[in-house]
Each structure stands twice: as C-alpha cells, then as structure tokens.
Amino acid sequence: EVQLVQSGAEVKKPGESLKISCKDSGYSFTSDWIAWVRQMPGKGLEWMGIIYPGDSDTRYSPSFQGQVTISADKSITTAYLQWSSLKASDTAMYYCARRSPTWEFFDSWGQGTLVIVSS
C-alpha cells in the first residue's frame, strides 16, 4: 500500500527559503509519479506540478513554473517542493499525491504540510 508521509508544519519569514518533503513508503517509488497540490486557506485545490523519480522528469503548471522547484531523491524514496524566496502569498497547505498508474488522477495523498509565511 502506498503511504505518503510529509514533513511537518513550517513558519517562515518572507524572503526565506524552504524545502518540504514527501516520503513514499511504498515499493514502487521509481515507477510512480508524485505531484504537489496547493490549497490556500479556505480555497480549492491547485495542481502545481509532478515528478517521475525514476528519471526526474518534471512538469510544472504554468502558474507555478519558476516559482517553485520539484525534485526527488530515489535513494530515500522522497520527493521535495522548494522555494528560494518565500512570499506571504505562499501561505497554504501543500499536499503531495501519487498519480494512478494509468491516468492522471490521484489515488493516494500525503497528510499535508502547512506553510505559514509571515513577518
């Protein structure tokens, strides 16, 4: 069974950098696609991008291209989402999710990482 476990909540100041993680305890990390989804406070879901850890093939939503970096370390079955300079508008819950093997919907989700950016 795929289980995605995310890193804990973060409180940061504007301009700081941050890297959050998503560890996949399943056995098929290098053949799974792992996506990141943002949910701003009281709002809906937004797909940010997706990575294939097997070869690090990464695709971004145009809305997030250049704003974040998605990466993965297959040796420790972990995917990452990082910012080089946070803004207050990055305050949100961030979920990682596993894409189904056949189509681009998400059949397993992490518990979420809350990121608060405030001066």
CB count in 10 Å sphere of residue 66:
8
Q: What is the Cα–Cα distance from 94 to 45, expressed in whole angstroms?
A: 9
- Which residues inside 44-83 make contact with other proteins, applying CB under 8 A? 44-47, 59, 61-63
Taking CB under 8 A as the criterion, the residue among 10, 52, 91, 109 binding other proteins is: 109
Closest Cα to residue 59, out of 79, 80, 76, 34?
Answer: 34
Check binding of 11 to other proteins (CB under 8 A): no
Provide the residue type at 111 as one letter: Q
Taking CB under 8 A as the criterion, the residue among 2, 23, 112, 116 binding other proteins is: 112
Provide the residue type at 33 as one letter: W
Check binding of 21 to other proteins (CB under 8 A): no
Q: What are phi and psi of 75, to 5 degrees?
A: -65, -25
Check binding of 103 to other proteins (CB under 8 A): yes
Q: Which stretch binds other proteins (CB under 8 A): 19-27, 70-78, 79-87, 110-118?
A: 110-118
Any idea which residue has 């608060």 for tokens?
A: 116
Q: Which residues bind other proteins (CB under 8 A)?
A: 35, 37, 44-47, 59, 61-63, 95, 97, 100, 103-107, 109-112
